[in-house]
Chain A
Amino acid sequence: MNELDQSLVLWANGLVGQSKLLDGFMEVLVSDYFTPVLNSLVLLGLWFSGETDAKRYQNQLTTLIGGIAVGFSNAQVAIINALVFRDRPFVGLDINLHFYPPTDSSFPANAASVAFAMATAVFLRHRRLGGALYTLAAFWGIARVYSGVHYPSDIIGGAVIGAIAALLAASLVRFLAFIPRNVFKVFRAVYIA
């Protein structure tokens, strides 16, 4: 498993410097800002979307689930980081680093957990939009491996954590449905929901 992880990182990272276009594309994609901001804007847009009150309410629940899912995924990553520490690929391997060198644990990939948490939250309600966010999350993960800051298994671990976090958040919101229903009633009274 570890050998496969290492050979995949070395293969992907070996592409760095071979194409300026690919390097530039990955430089944007790997950023700490591109995917989180794009995903957050999608969740924000959903808040105002919907042709009927019922559809808009469901979309607003999706936004809420997305926000809670990010919190849950961060909490899960923090707990795992307290128990397990894995060195980054650039520590032990001959890597051409295409990003700044992070100092926290490589496993699980926090970036992947956040992106997959938001994508899953959206996918539960909007298959196509959620699918697009899954694709973006996957590309973010690939960019991290390409840049030499994560092993593929870190990304897979993060993705699983993110998906679980979103499912947990959706279950919690369904179980405690009276809370968002009443909070949204107040928001509707002041015309922000």
Chain B
Amino acid sequence: MQSAFLMDYIFWVFISTLAVVQFAAARSGIWGMLYAREWPKVTQCFALMITIVAFVWYFVTEDRNQPDTGLGLDANVQAFWFAASGAVAVSATLIITSVINHRWGGEGHGWDNLSGEAPPTGIAWLSQTTFFHAIRARIAYLLQAMPKQSSR
């Protein structure tokens, strides 16, 4: 069944993306995106292992050399589902790590909300705080800045 074949592909990409994002974040010191913030080296090893296991699982469980006129996926379908599954995996990472690291991300995140200055931008700030804290700070800043701008 093509749907089962497609589901396998989506699951494989989802798990591999979760692992690759953890590996990259741990290597680059983006602590706010890690499930195990305290163990970056372990995270890298584990992420590598998960990626290898996901690849082995995908190719061992079934014959994947199927024509795209039959069970297989053509290049466009493959690209679409890679992007969709990858986006969901990255979103899940940002949400779950925000919950896990909630306390840590709320303390000493290198920005004073009373200073009136804009919060830092970019993933780099996630080395000091979580995605939720960063987004909340940005929204709070924009709401604070809005009446000032409109009264000018």
- Known A-B contacts A56-B123, A191-B126; the reply to A40 vs B82 at CB < 8 A is yes
Q: Which of B20, B28, B72, B126 contacts A50 (CB 8 A)?
A: B28
* Interfacial residues of chain B within 28-80, with CB under 8 A of chain A in the complex: 28-30, 33, 51, 55, 58-59, 64-70, 72-73, 75, 78-79
Size band of the interface chain B makes with A: 35 or more
Q: Name the B residues within 8 Å of A103 (CB-CB).
A: 69
Determine whether the beta carbon of A31 is less than 8 Å from that of B64.
yes
Asked if B116 lies at the interface with its beta carbon under 8 angstroms from chain A, I say no
Q: Which of A41, A99, A100, A192 contacts B123 (CB 8 A)?
A: A192
Taking Cβ atoms with an 8 Å cutoff, the residues of A that contact B are 27-28, 30-34, 36-38, 40-41, 44-53, 56, 70, 74, 99-103, 110, 114, 185, 188-193
Determine whether the beta carbon of A41 is less than 8 Å from that of B12.
no
Q: Main SS of chain B's interface residues?
A: helix
Taking Cβ atoms with an 8 Å cutoff, the residues of B that contact A are 9, 12-13, 16-17, 20-21, 23-25, 27-30, 33, 51, 55, 58-59, 64-70, 72-73, 75, 78-79, 82, 86, 90, 94, 121-126, 131, 134-135, 138
Closest A residue to B69 by CB, please name it: A103
Q: Name the A residues within 8 Å of B121 (CB-CB).
A: 185, 188-189, 191
Determine whether the beta carbon of B28 is less than 8 Å from that of A44.
no
Determine whether the beta carbon of B12 is less than 8 Å from that of A48.
no
Closest A residue to B28 by CB, please name it: A49
Bound together, the chains give a CA A45 to CA B26 distance in angstroms of: 11
Q: Which of A46, A48, A74, A191 contacts B131 (CB 8 A)?
A: A191
Q: Which of A32, A47, A52, A193 contacts B68 (CB 8 A)?
A: A32
